């Protein structure tokens, strides 16, 4: 599944889960919510989830077009053990 499709799927699922929990909250605690509140919270949670999934899957807003060669990272010595302080 490509990144675009997974972002759409995450957006739909998070908005449905948000709608369910808000509806459950309003019925359990007798606090009526307006349609605007439902829409606002669903949009906020969906946007946060999509941004998190986008950046965790390696997406980037700036395309650099290059990679760091692994050989340059392997030349350094790795210090292990307790810190000297």
Domain boundaries defined on the chain: 3-59
In terms of phi and psi (left: phi > 0; alpha: psi -120 to 50; beta: otherwise), the region of 58 is left
pTM as predicted: 0.60
Token pair in block for residue 47? 């946007």
What are the backbone dihedrals phi and psi of residue 83, each rounded to the nearest 5 degrees, phi first?
A: -70, 155
pLDDT of residue 33: 87
pLDDT per position as a tens digit, 28-53? 998 888 989 989 998 999 999 888 88
């Amino acid at each position: 599944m490509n990144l675009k499709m997974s972002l759409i799927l995450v957006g739909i699922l998070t908005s449905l889960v948000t709608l369910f929990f808000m509806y459950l909250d309003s019925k359990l605690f007798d606090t009526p919510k307006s349609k605007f509140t439902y829409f606002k919270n669903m949009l906020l949670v969906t946007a946060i989830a999509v941004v998190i999934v986008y950046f965790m899957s390696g997406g980037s807003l700036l395309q650099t077009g290059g990679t760091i060669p692994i050989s340059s990272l392997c030349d350094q010595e790795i210090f292990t053990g307790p810190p000297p302080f």
